Amino acid sequence: MDLYSGHINKLIEELSALPGIGSKSAQRMAFYLINLPKERVQRFTNTILNAKENVRYCKKCFTLTDQDLCPICSNPKRDQNTIMVVESTRDLAAYEKTGKYEGVYHVLHGAISPMIGIGPNDIKLKELMQRLQEDIEEVIIATNSSLEGETTAMYISKLIKPTGIKVTRIASGVPVGGDLEYIDEVTLLRALEGRTEI
């Protein structure tokens, strides 16, 4: 038996489809939105639509931005000779929270996972190799400590080693099977500072 009308049920259904939102959270959010003034709801929906229409990949590092180059790539104070390779924009944000990394990033948008059909051509590896034509001194591989992350790290290392560019991997401190976006800044900083050459 449905407790609510069709419109409320549809709103709850859409909200519960968001990552990390269960049915109870979706109900709370739905009632919150319904009770907001109409202008506030309009501003909220316009913000979502504007983000959807204007957010794209940075032309250099492939993080999400609404400019041609993200604020990190366009910052002249960043070390353009050191690239940290991460799986997602969320991982990039986790490292930025430490406030200690001064280089730039490359976002792969995934990791190699033959089990689910994701190969090297399905992530931004070709674009990474093109960036290495510039004057790059070090590539820090900061993929997750999962089987897919380790596979991706080894694959990238084998691609880059012949170029003579220094390749390092973030150190332990990041738990195996853990996602970078959920790890605290101190652990991430220790992993960054204790990285080792692979």
Q: Which domains are present in the chain?
A: 6-54 (1.10.8.420), 64-197 (3.40.1360.10)
Q: How far is CA 114 from CA 61, 80, 122, 145, 157, in A?
A: 24, 32, 11, 17, 18
> HSE on the CB side for 162, CA within 13 Å?
5
pLDDT in tens, the chain (198 residues): 466 678 899 999 999 999 999 989 999 999 999 999 999 999 999 999 999 999 999 999 999 999 999 999 999 999 999 999 999 999 999 999 988 999 999 999 999 998 899 998 999 999 999 999 989 999 999 998 888 988 999 999 999 999 999 999 887 666 667 777 777 776 777 677 777 777
3: CB partners within 8 A, 6+ apart: none
pTM here is 0.78
Q: For residue 108, which of 136, 133, 83, 82 has the smallest C-alpha distance?
A: 83
The pLDDT of residue 150 is: 86
The pLDDT of residue 182 is: 77
**Token code pair at residue 166:** 């220094």
Our CA angle for 118, 119, 122, nearest 5°, is 75
54: CB partners within 8 A, 6+ apart: 66
Determine phi and psi for 89, rounding to 5 degrees.
-60, -35
The pLDDT of residue 184 is: 73
The secondary structure of 109-178 as a DSSP string is: SS--BGGGTB-GGGTTHHHHHHHTTS---EEEE---SSHHHHHHHHHHHHHHGGGT-EEEEPPTTSPTT-
What sign does the dihedral 145-94-85-55 (CA atoms) show?
positive
The pLDDT of residue 2 is: 61
Task: Specify the amino acid at residue 105.
Answer: Y
| CA gap 142, 155 in Å, rounded | 13
The pLDDT of residue 91 is: 94
Q: Cα–chain-centroid distance for residue 103?
A: 16
Asked whether the beta carbons of 118 and 111 are under 8 A apart, the reply is yes
